[in-house]
Structure 1
């Protein structure tokens, strides 16, 4: 009997938590667009999502997003988007492995010994 009650109560807690996510409400909202093409916006929700962005038309944007992942991990993402593309930054993002020493040595050798171009007549 105790096991059944425990399982049912855990199920109800899980159901209430998922219902909380679906019932999230907007707690703050601001949006501004200026005649020169610059803009800014921000919003927040009752379940802890906060986001903001500012930029100029289709030339530049910078912003951030904060929320809690389903596993409880706090996520903080900052980004810029400009002529160099979209550049996200966050501790949760994967990073490339370090460049192996033999590749670094090869690149240093190539830089130290530039190739002379051959002119064909």
Structure 2
């Protein structure tokens, strides 16, 4: 069930309506393969937005499981720059990385 909720939330984010000042983007590529304990999808639109992710169910301990995921997304911001985020998500949380994101200092 967690898997379905996470996938639905990510997909809704991908196809959310653009601001009124932007033209409506067309879907150029949409691939999806959803299994019982894994998924893989990719989306690319005509406005330069793209995202992809894959994940699988991981047995964390005898009583708990988590969907371990990795992926990336990119978009063109209002400043004309293309921003890319590579991320992982697992039982320890969401971990984004991008050249424009701040990095916490080492302890």
User: TM-score over 0.5 for the alignment?
Assistant: yes
Q: Which has the larger radius of gyration?
A: 1
Q: Render the CA deviation track for 1:13-54: whole Å, top value 9, x for unaligned.
A: xxxxx878332111100110123x110011000000010000
CA distance in 2, matches of 1:53, 1:66: 12
Give the structure-1-normalised TM-score: 0.59
- Quick one: higher RCO (CA 8 Å, sep 6+), 1 or 2? 2
Higher strand residue share: 2
Equivalent positions of 1:1-121 (< 5 A) are: 21-35=22-36, 37-57=37-57, 58-97=66-105
Give the structure-2-normalised TM-score: 0.66
Instruction: Classify the secondary structure of the residue corresponding to 1:66.
Output: strand
Task: Note the residue ranges of structure 1 that are not aligned, 5 or more in a row.
Answer: 1-17, 100-121
Task: Note the residue ranges of structure 2 that are not aligned, 5 or more in a row.
Answer: 1-18, 58-65
Higher helix residue share: 1
State how many pairs are aligned.
81
